[in-house]
């Protein structure tokens, strides 16, 4: 009880305003230039100095997480509900992966950042894994239990595999969704 039950002491108005402006600006810049856009660009778009960016979001990864938190959450929920709305766990899995792929391919550079070994993105990595790995595990287990999914694939291999397949620039000769479909076919029980 070092801090009792007291709530956070309500921040200053400009601080809240700037955080919100930063999130909006970052979302816009990420769409236009990808998640690796210069911090200065985001600061400029939000009408604040770079110092303000770093006060609100200690690392770039924190900003990325904040911008996409809602959508990651929605993706996790979609996975948790997927099993309830179909009688085939494999189809539930496929549907969920579809949602995940849609999310990744519309965020330029995000898949790359997710897989990056740059320690800068540690937080991003951790957040996605924390939130989505358990969901993947449950879908996988349901599939295995129903005899539809092979039992030697971990959720980590599923998520990182799909993530890896989503990396890279758009290209006519490479259909992400089709390739992910091939990967999923490889996960069917023999």
Partner DNA sequence: AACGTTACGGAACAACGTTCCGTTTGTCGA
Partner DNA sequence: TCGACAAACGGAACGTTGTTCCGTAACGTT
Using CB under 7 A, list all residues that contact DNA.
10-15, 18-19, 36-40, 47-52, 54-56, 58-60, 120
According to DSSP, residue 131 is labeled H
Q: Please, how many CA atoms are within 13 Å of residue 35, restricted to the half-sphere of its CB?
A: 26
Q: How far is the CB of 59 from DNA (least distance, A)?
A: 6
Question: Would you tell me which residues interact with its own copies (CB under 8 A)?
Answer: 109, 112, 115-117, 150, 152-154, 156-157, 160-161, 164-169, 171, 173-175, 178-179, 181-187
Q: Residue 30, Cα to own-chain centre: how many angstroms?
A: 14
Please give the structure tokens belonging to residue 169: 């620039």
Helix (H/G/I), strand (E/B), else coil: 7: coil
Structure tokens at 63: 């900003």
Please, what is the end-to-end C-alpha distance for the chain in angstroms?
A: 55
Name the binder of 40 from DNA, its own copies, none, CB < 5-8 A by kind: DNA
Q: Choosing among DNA, its own copies, none, which partner's interface includes residue 182 (Cβ < 5 to 8 Å by kind)?
A: its own copies
Structure tokens at 29: 């810049």
Q: What is the DSSP letter of 10?
A: -
Of 49 and 119, nearer to its own copies (C-beta) is 119
Instruction: Give the one entry of DNA, its own copies, none that residue 47 binds, where binding means its C-beta sits below a cut-off of 5 to 8 angstroms depending on kind.
Output: DNA
Q: Which does 131 bind (CB under 5 to 8 A by kind): its own copies, DNA, none?
A: none
Nearer of residues 87 and 117 to its own copies, judged by Cβ? 117
Residue 141 in tokens = 């287990």
C-beta closer to its own copies: residue 131 or 160: 160
Residue closer to its own copies (CB basis): 55 or 150: 150
Q: Which is nearer to its own copies, 55 or 160 (CB)?
A: 160
Token reading at 71: 């959508």
Backbone region of residue 168 per phi and psi (left: phi > 0; alpha: psi in -120 to 50; beta: other values): left
Residue 54 binds which of its own copies, DNA, none (CB < 5-8 A, kind-dependent): DNA
């Amino acid at each position: 009880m070092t801090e009792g039950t007291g709530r956070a002491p309500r921040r200053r108005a400009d601080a809240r305003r700037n955080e919100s402006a930063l999130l909006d600006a970052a979302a816009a810049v990420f769409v236009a230039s990808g998640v690796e856009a210069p911090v200065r660009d985001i600061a400029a778009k939000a009408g604040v100095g770079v110092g303000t960016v770093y006060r609100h979001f200690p690392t770039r990864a924190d900003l990325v997480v904040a911008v996409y938190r809602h959508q990651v959450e929605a993706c996790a929920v979609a996975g948790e509900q997927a099993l309830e709305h179909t009688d085939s766990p494999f189809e539930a899995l496929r549907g969920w992966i579809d949602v995940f792929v849609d999310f990744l391919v519309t965020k330029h550079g995000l898949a790359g950042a997710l897989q990056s070994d740059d320690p800068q993105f540690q937080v991003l990595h951790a957040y996605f894994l924390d939130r989505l790995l358990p969901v993947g595990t449950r879908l996988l287990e349901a599939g295995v239990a129903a005899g539809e999914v092979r039992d030697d694939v971990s959720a980590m291999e599923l998520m990182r595999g799909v993530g890896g397949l989503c990396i890279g620039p758009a290209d006519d000769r490479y259909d992400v969704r089709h390739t992910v479909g091939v990967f999923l076919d490889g996960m069917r029980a023999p």
